[in-house]
């Protein structure tokens, strides 16, 4: 070949083509490389769409990749490249299956890698474990290529093919799921965070929501309960945006759904649309951000069978460290002395509590140990089968998850199945159908406490009953306190069972009647059913002498059935056009959603005994039933326009017009626009010299408005029909003499507001994405300001109104903050490693309450200028040391004495009162949330550690969570050993007082004394895995076998109380099931 030709072919070119016409690609290559392509159409299919990615690669390599699958070959003459159809090769050798595996530099298997036999049209993709199988003849070459990685060519030798692809482009080139479509990350102009399946894999999380904790900046997940079935964390995106529900919208494969119904194993990717511009396309529901979940789809190629299993056990992270009975007795005496009363326990009593010589009269009952005494086994099984032909791909999965709690009868299970199908029905029509079913039962014991059968009541009583109360009297009957005995309840037949059934189905078409014009109708349906049954047994307690004492009853059952039907119809039309360097995309759509909720419940009491629990087995006297339904309808029209100039200048605009059945005709629709733009500075010519180190730099900015019509609350008429004046039934009374009977009544109860309209969130976002060192290091940062106004609030109305207050558009909230994300990957020989970190600094404050407020609720306040639900109370100034100090200070309460908390007299009027002397004491919403992970791999061994934490966060614990002293109720924790006494003036706790003295009580007299730093750093997940060499795997017919140990929440560093989890709810008063840690062993096998 002429020398010039060789030079031409070694020219470095960069190319990004995603389903572009070959013609266009040649055009761009010829400009970039300064060569001319000559070919004859139709011999060369110049309208064929191709995908190719190359950055600074040799032209011949790029062309080889591009032309191989098209059966074209090239000749170079001067600076001209002549393209010709390849002469078909005669098959002479029989092909046979070749197995292989593709991983990245860190040993992480790569999924979706294209593997083709060079010069043929045989090809396949790797599965989730990076494995592939295809038929090839010995001596031929396999071309292994993957978006963002350098392609490789491997000769087929007969053995297993093992390929390590090195990263060439960074993750900015990933394709990201956005509203009603996908976009390459490089083209994003809004703020979108993503998590891939690999990041969530093999963690023993009970729900998908909890798996997100700490993985993305600005996505705050707070999990404050570890009870099986009740442990779903709350998710906030970019702060607490409203005084209403702050839950983001969750969309699973196009259908609005919930995080917790999806099997984490089924998930392929999660995108979080954080700013208004990217969420705008989901306008009517998107004000709190949108989480888009895409489930796995089948891939062309041989069937894959994947089986994952883990088993493990859990234990509470922290339990209150209550003191033994002798100390409880001693400290109660001390409290009595402090209030001027005589001691109750003699030295002999205390000695007996200490030596255990009188186990019934002077016991030391370890109630927590009697309560949290189960192993808490957890297991998860997942079977996935996927594959497909050229035209049809499928994925079928079955999942089973079973989690037992550490308390008897606490259990949650999840049975899932899913079938995802895609088929190319005709040349221009693709059909997609997904169906999934989840059965999600959980159960918990219930208490027989009158009127409050909730399990939390049992936890409260366990944290409250003194170690000086025996479990049982000498005669074997359960001992009890005024509220009962939690262990007697636990061992009774009381049980709450909650079954959730969720069926989700969807079907959609992608029709391309004209080139580049896609018409996509879509229908989605979900049916959610809950069947909840609470059976509360009655208990007759007996006194120590055998008389009938406390009776808790009657036994009763509440059987509740509800059903939610959701139907959505959507249609989008999109069109894309390239005009030279200009790329235009438009999308228009319509969506409607209809939800109907129906509930029926029945209550009966007075069963003959506690053996049966169905309604019919109980008496009809005193039975009640309830039933109601409500509907919600939403209708939306939306459009999107994208413009891209040469991959450098990016622009997007959205417009959405939304209507909700919650508003009266005049205010029903709202219009929500957004704009965003991006500049890829790194694509500019002047930037070229920097590329070797600084490979990507993008600036982006967005502005947009989003609407919210969601009103949450338990009052269905108020929340679903807030503008309609109604008269409520069920306003009954009783008439009659000795045997009175119900008389049905009606009355207006709910106020209505016809002027109610959409709540609006306006968000401005500025971001920067950068990549360095051949994409080994990536970094992004952003700043946002989010203002929510016209908040749909149930603000108080003056009492003479006399109705439940109507919702009004009142109040505004602002969130603003910074978010950062950085990742680094590296290798040293066979040792690979990666580190990643993210952090968000978010401030929030109430900017208006529409002239009302401040609204004080217990220890928190909603007040203009302060963060939402800030702590509100007295400012503590230490402890009084003597009576003179008490006398000199402003009057607090008549009982105040040395050892009590000193409250600051803020208005200086010489007395301490709640109206004038309370102030802002901090907020429980973290100022900073962060996460970081480190991973390493070496010859099949992989280790990852994932840390997550929060800083600048305040916690508040009260009541029995801190400890109390008493004879039968209340027990001290170890912290109270350091209570104030004259000889312990530097104490960390105020003096001990009996429970009727409330001057230091954190609930009655909230003060900064009880506000603690609840910042924490948690080793959220630690995984150590080993992938067996392929030779061993193949001996049992598997492609890949990995064994691992995984642990969740195993280490927490915090200065909060050592027995209270820092994520416990603000103001925790000992009603909460503890957070748990989990250790599991797992196995992944792919066949």
Partner 1 sequence: CKKNFLDRQPTDSLSNSSLFSDSSDVIAALNGCYSGWSNPVSGLQGWADGYNVIYMDACSDNVYSQYPWEGFQAYGNGSATPGGVVPNGNSDNLYNYVTIQKCNWFLSNVTRAPISTGLLARTQSEARFIRAYQYFMMSQLYGGVPLVTSSLTPAQADAVQRTTKDSVTQFVLSELAAIAPNLPVAYSGGAGSEIGRITRGAAVALKARIELYTGDYADCITDCQQVMQLGYALYPSYTDLFREKFAENSEVILDVKYIGNTSTSNTNWVVGVMPSFTYGGWSSLDPLQSLVDAYEMTNGKTIDDPTSGYDASNPFANRDPRLAASVVYPGEQYPYADGSSNYYDPLDASSSDFYQSGNNTSVTGYLEKKFTAVLSDYNGDNGIFNTGLSMILIRYAEILLMDAEAKIESGKIDATVYNDLNQVRARAGMPAVDQSVYNSQATLRTLVRRERRVELALEGLRWFDIQRWQIGAQVMAGPVTGARLGTVNATTGVVTYTGGNIPVETRLFDPSKNYLWPIPQSEIDINKQLKQNPGY
Which residues inside 945-984 make contact with partner 1, applying CB under 8 A?
Answer: 966-970
**Between 61 and 550, CB nearer to partner 1:** 550
| Nearest approach, Cβ of residue 420 and partner 1 (Å) | 29
Contact pick of 298, 320, 387, 806 for partner 1 (by CB under 8 A): 806
Closer of 635 and 814 to partner 1 (Cβ):
635
- Asked if residue 995 binds partner 1 (CB under 8 A), the reply is yes
d(CA 208, CA 200): 9
Q: How far is the CB of 889 from partner 1 (least distance, A)?
A: 18
Residues 521-540 that bind partner 1 (CB under 8 A): 538
Residues 341-360 binding partner 1 (CB under 8 A) are 341, 344
Question: Hey, which residues between 235 and 264 contact partner 1 (CB under 8 A)?
Answer: none
User: Is 373 or 731 the residue whose CB approaches partner 1 more closely?
Assistant: 731
Does position 451 bind partner 1 by CB under 8 A?
yes
Footprint (CB under 8 A) of partner 1, residues 715-744: 716-717, 720-721, 724-729, 731-744
Q: Judging by DSSP bridges, how do beta strands 96-104 and 161-165 pair with one another?
A: parallel
Residue 563 touching partner 1 (CB under 8 A): no
Residue 970 CB, shortest distance to partner 1, in Å, is 7
Do 133 and 98 touch, CB atoms closer than 8 A? yes
User: Widest CA span of the chain, in angstroms?
Assistant: 116
Reference 704, options 640, 608, 628; nearest CA is 640
**Closer CB to partner 1, 645 or 801, in the complex:** 801
Q: Is 865 in the site for partner 1 (CB under 8 A)?
A: no
Interface positions, 1006-1025, toward partner 1 (CB under 8 A):
none
- Looking at residues 459 to 488 of the shown chain, list those that interact with partner 1 (rule: CB under 8 A): 481-483
Provide, rounded to whole angstroms, the least separation between the CB of residue 637 and partner 1.
10
Q: For partner 1, which stretch binds (CB under 8 A), given 219-227, 385-393, 550-558, 978-986? A: 550-558
* Contact between 1055 and partner 1 per CB under 8 A: no
The answer to whether 234 touches 222, Cβ cutoff 8 Å, is yes
Residue 450 in contact with partner 1, rule: CB under 8 A: yes
Neighbouring-strand partners of residue 763: 704, 786
CB of 40 to partner 1, least distance (A): 52
Contacting residues for 34 by C-beta, under 8 A, at least 6 apart:
11, 79
Q: Which of 70, 75, 38 has its CA nearest to residue 60?
A: 75
Residue 459, beta-bridge partner list: none
**801 near partner 1, judged by CB under 8 A:** yes
* Residue of 78, 159, 796, 1029 that binds partner 1 (CB under 8 A): 796
Check residue 560 for interaction with partner 1 (CB under 8 A): no
Q: Are 947 and 865 in contact (CB under 8 A)?
A: no
Residue whose tokens read 């558009």: 809
Question: Coil, strand, or helix at residue 475?
Answer: coil
- 3-class state of residue 368 by DSSP: helix
Query: Is 769 within 8 Å of 171 (Cβ atoms)?
Result: no
Among 4, 93, 360, 747, binds partner 1 (CB under 8 A): 747
- Residue 331: CB atoms within 10 Å: 22
d(CA 713, CA 807): 11
How many residues bind partner 1, per CB under 8 A? 103
Q: Within positions 666 to 695, which residues make up the interface with partner 1, using CB under 8 A?
A: 668
In our burial notation (b when 16+ CB lie closer than 10 A, e otherwise), range 715-733 reads eebbbbbbbeeeeeeeeee
Q: Among 95, 198, 681, 803, indicate the residue that binds partner 1 (CB under 8 A).
A: 803
**Smallest gap, in angstroms, from Cβ of residue 895 to partner 1?**
9
Please, are residues 850 and 894 in contact by the beta-carbon 8 Å criterion?
Answer: no
In a 3-state reduction of DSSP, which class is residue 682? helix
Which helix (H) or strand (E) segment is 489 a member of?
helix 486-490
Q: Where on the phi/psi map is residue 476: left (φ > 0), alpha (ψ -120 to 50), or beta?
A: left
Nearer to partner 1, 19 or 739 (CB): 739
Return the residues of window 886-925 that contact partner 1 according to CB under 8 A: 894, 913-915
148 HSE (CA, 13 A, CB side):
18
* Position among 153, 234, 592, 843 found at the interface with partner 1 (CB under 8 A): 592
Nearer to partner 1 among residue 465 and residue 876 (C-beta) = 465
797 binds partner 1 (CB under 8 A): yes
- 996 near partner 1 (CB under 8 A): yes
End-to-end C-alpha distance for the chain, whole angstroms: 48
Distance CA(584)–CA(645), nearest Å, equals 9
Please report how close the Cβ of residue 543 comes to partner 1 at its closest, in angstroms.
7
611 near partner 1, judged by CB under 8 A: no
Q: Does 621 bind partner 1 (CB under 8 A)?
A: yes
CA distance 1003 to 1069: 9
Nearer to partner 1, 689 or 910 (CB): 910
b/e map 307-326, b = 16+ CB within 10 Å: bbbbbbbbbbbbbbebbbbb
Q: Are residues 403 and 411 in contact, defined by beta-carbon separation less than 8 angstroms?
A: yes
List the one residue from 87, 514, 548, 579 that touches partner 1 (CB under 8 A): 548
Kindly state the smallest distance separating residue 526's Cβ from partner 1, in Å.
19
């Amino acid at each position: 070949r002429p020398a010039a030709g060789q030079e031409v072919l070694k020219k470095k070119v960069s190319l990004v083509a995603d389903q572009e016409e070959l013609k266009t690609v040649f055009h761009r290559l010829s400009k970039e490389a300064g060569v001319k392509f000559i070919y004859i159409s139709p011999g060369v299919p110049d309208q064929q769409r191709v995908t190719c990615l190359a950055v600074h690669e040799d032209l011949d390599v790029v062309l080889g990749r591009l032309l191989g699958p098209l059966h074209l070959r090239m000749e170079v003459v001067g600076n001209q490249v002549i393209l010709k159809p390849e002469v078909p090769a005669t098959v002479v050798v029989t092909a046979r299956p070749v197995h292989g595996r593709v991983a990245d530099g860190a040993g992480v298997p790569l999924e979706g890698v294209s593997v083709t036999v060079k010069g043929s049209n045989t090809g396949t993709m790797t599965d989730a474990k990076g494995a592939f199988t295809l038929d090839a003849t010995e001596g031929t070459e396999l071309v292994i290529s993957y978006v963002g990685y350098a392609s490789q060519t491997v000769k087929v030798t007969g053995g297993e093919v093992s390929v390590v692809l090195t990263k060439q482009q960074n993750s900015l080139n990933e394709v990201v799921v956005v509203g009603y479509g996908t976009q390459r990350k490089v083209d994003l102009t809004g703020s979108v965070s993503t998590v891939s399946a690999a990041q969530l894999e093999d963690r023993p999380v009970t729900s998908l929501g909890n798996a997100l904790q700490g993985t993305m900046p600005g996505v705050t997940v707070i999990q404050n309960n570890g009870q099986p079935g009740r442990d779903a964390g709350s998710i906030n995106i970019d702060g607490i945006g409203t005084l209403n529900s702050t839950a983001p919208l969750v969309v699973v494969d196009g259908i609005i759904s919930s995080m917790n119904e999806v099997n984490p194993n089924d998930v392929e990717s999660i995108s979080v649309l954080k700013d208004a511009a990217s969420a705008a396309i989901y306008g009517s529901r998107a004000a709190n951000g949108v989480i888009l979940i895409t489930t796995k789809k089948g891939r062309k190629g041989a069937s894959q069978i994947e089986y994952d299993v883990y088993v493990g056990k859990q234990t509470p992270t922290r339990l209150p460290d209550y003191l033994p009975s002798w100390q409880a007795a001693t400290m109660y005496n001390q409290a009595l002395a402090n209030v001027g009363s005589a001691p109750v326990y003699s030295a002999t009593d205390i000695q007996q509590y200490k030596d255990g010589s009188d186990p019934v009269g002077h016991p030391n009952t370890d109630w927590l140990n009697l309560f949290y005494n189960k192993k808490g086994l957890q297991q998860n099984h997942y079977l996935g089968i996927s594959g497909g032909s050229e035209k049809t791909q499928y994925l079928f999965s079955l999942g089973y998850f079973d989690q037992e709690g550490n308390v008897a009868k606490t259990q949650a299970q999840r049975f899932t199945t899913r079938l995802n199908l895609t088929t190319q029905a005709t040349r221009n029509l693709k059909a997609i159908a997904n169906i999934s079913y989840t059965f999600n039962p959980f159960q918990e014991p219930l208490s027989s406490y009158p009127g409050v059968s909730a399990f939390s009541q049992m936890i409260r009583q366990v944290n409250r009953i003194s170690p000086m109360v025996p479990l049982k009297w000498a005669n074997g009957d359960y001992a009890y306190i005024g509220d009962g005995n939690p262990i007697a309840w636990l061992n009774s037949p009381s049980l709450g069972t909650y079954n959730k059934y969720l069926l989700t189905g969807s079907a959609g078409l992608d029709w391309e009647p004209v080139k580049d014009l896609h018409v996509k109708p879509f229908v989605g349906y979900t049916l959610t059913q809950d069947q909840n049954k609470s059976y509360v047994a009655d208990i007759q307690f007996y006194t120590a002498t055998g008389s009938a004492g406390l009776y808790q009853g009657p036994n009763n059952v509440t059987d509740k059935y509800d059903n939610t039907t959701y139907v959505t119809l959507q249609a989008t039309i999109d069109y894309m056009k390239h005009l030279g360097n200009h790329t235009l995309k438009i999308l228009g759509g319509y969506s409607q959603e209809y939800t109907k909720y129906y509930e029926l419940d029945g209550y009966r009491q007075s069963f003959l005994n506690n053996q049966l629990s169905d309604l019919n087995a109980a008496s009809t006297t005193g039975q009640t039933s309830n039933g109601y339904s409500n509907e919600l309808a939403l209708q939306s029209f939306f459009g999107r326009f994208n413009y891209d100039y040469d991959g450098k200048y990016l622009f997007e605009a959205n417009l959405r017009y939304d209507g909700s059945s919650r508003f009266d005709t005049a205010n029903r629709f709202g219009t929500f626009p957004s704009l965003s733009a991006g500049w890829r500075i790194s694509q500019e010519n002047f930037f070229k010299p920097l590329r070797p180190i600084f490979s990507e730099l993008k600036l982006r900015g967005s502005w947009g408005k989003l609407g919210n019509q969601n009103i949450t609350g338990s009052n269905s008429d108020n929340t679903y029909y807030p503008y309609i004046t109604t008269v409520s039934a069920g306003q009954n009374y009783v008439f009659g003499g000795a045997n009175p009977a119900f008389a049905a009544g009606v009355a207006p109860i709910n106020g209505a507001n016809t002027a109610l309209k959409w709540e609006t969130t306006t968000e401005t976002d500025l971001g920067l994405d950068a990549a360095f060192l051949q994409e080994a290091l990536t970094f992004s940062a952003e700043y946002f300001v989010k203002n929510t106004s016209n908040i749909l609030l149930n603000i108080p109305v003056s009492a003479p109104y006399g109705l439940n207050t109507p919702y009004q558009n009142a109040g505004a909230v602002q969130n603003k903050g910074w978010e950062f994300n950085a990742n680094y990957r590296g290798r040293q020989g066979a040792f690979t490693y990666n580190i990643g970190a993210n952090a968000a600094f978010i401030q929030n404050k109430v900017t208006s309450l529409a002239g009302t407020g401040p609204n004080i609720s217990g220890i928190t306040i909603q007040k203009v200028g302060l963060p939402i639900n800030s702590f509100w109370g007295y400012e503590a100034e230490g402890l009084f040391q003597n009576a003179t100090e008490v006398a000199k200070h402003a009057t607090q309460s008549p009982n105040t004495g040395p050892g009590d908390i000193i409250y600051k007299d803020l208005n200086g009027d010489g007395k301490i009162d709640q109206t004038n002397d309370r102030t802002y004491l901090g907020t429980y919403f973290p100022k900073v949330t962060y996460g970081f992970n480190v991973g390493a791999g070496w010859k099949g061994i992989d280790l990852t550690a994932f840390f997550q934490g929060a800083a600048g966060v305040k916690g508040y614990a009260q009541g029995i969570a801190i400890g109390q002293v008493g004879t039968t109720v209340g027990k001290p924790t170890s912290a109270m050993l350091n209570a104030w006494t004259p000889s312990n003036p530097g104490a960390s706790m105020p003096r001990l007082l009996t429970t009727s003295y409330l001057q230091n009580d954190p609930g009655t007299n909230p003060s900064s004394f009880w506000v603690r730093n609840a910042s924490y750093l948690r080793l959220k997940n630690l995984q150590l895995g080993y992938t067996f060499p392929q030779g061993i795997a193949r001996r049992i017919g598997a492609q890949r076998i990995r064994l691992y140990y995984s642990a969740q929440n195993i280490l927490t560093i915090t200065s909060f109380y050592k027995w209270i989890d820092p994520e416990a709810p603000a103001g925790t008063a000992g009603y909460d099931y503890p957070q748990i840690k989990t250790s599991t062993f797992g196995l992944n096998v792919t066949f």
